[in-house]
Amino acid sequence: FAVGDAVEVQDVVTGQWGLVALAGPANRQGRIVADTLAGRASGYTTTQGTAIVKIFEMTGAITGASEKRLRALGRPYRKIYIHPSGHAGYYPGTAQMQLKLLFAPGDGAILGAQIVGFDGVDKRIDVLATAIRAGMSVFDLERLELAYAPPYGSAKDPVNMAGFVAGNLLRGDVAFWYAEDYPLASGDALIVDVRGEAEYADWHIDGARNIPLPQLRERL
């Protein structure tokens, strides 16, 4: 038998074959060998490349296809970015995470996700990995009922929020553009930078006008 890092596997999203050196799939393949030796009909299906890494105090995690991979294959996709906290903001010990979700433009089938953050990254990537394996869509994410208490999450969990924002895009409720679309997408719009003066001085978009948030009302 050849299993684990020694064999190519089929990607659950793209259908492509390749080497994916991860302990989880390797262990499941070992179990399949044991089943086969015992006379039980068993076989491996696909791999989606769910992985996580700790970088000092931060965590990075991925599952499914990346935007780079989908673009290389010429596969249509849409994407959203959200920046929720790991748990309720009024409870101490959390920080923003950066969550990117990739999904099909028609039915909203989830194609991949990447998250970078501090707390709660692991459980969100696991939910999204399960959603991909189950063939769920962004509309299903809107309806997921996930555990909530202030130390652990939010009433609108980051996974739910990803579904809400992606659903808004697919329903046409909001017109999206992305950082890589700048400056063409902004047209003749005035860009207002609402950060503090020191932050603005450190770096800002060319042509942006600085009106710090506390001053907005008095400067209407």
Q: What percent of the chain has pLDDT over 90?
A: 92
Is residue 201's pLDDT more than 90? yes
Integer Cα distance of 46 and 72 in angstroms: 20
Identify the pLDDT of residue 185. 87
127 neighbors 99 (Cβ within 8 angstroms): no
The tens digit of pLDDT for each residue in 53-86 reads: 999 999 999 999 999 999 999 999 999 999 999 9
pLDDT at 187 over 90: no
Neighbours of 170 (CB within 10 A): 18
**Contact between 118 and 59 (Cβ < 8 Å):** yes
Q: How is residue 63 written in tokens? A: 């599952």
- Give the lowest-confidence range in 137-141, 186-190, 208-212: 186-190
| Side-chain half-sphere CA neighbours of 115 within 13 A | 32
Count other Cβ atoms within 10 Å, centred on residue 77. 18
Please say whether the beta carbons of 125 and 107 come within 8 A: no
Distances (CA, A) of 210 to 151, 156, 186, 189, 195: 35, 32, 17, 14, 7
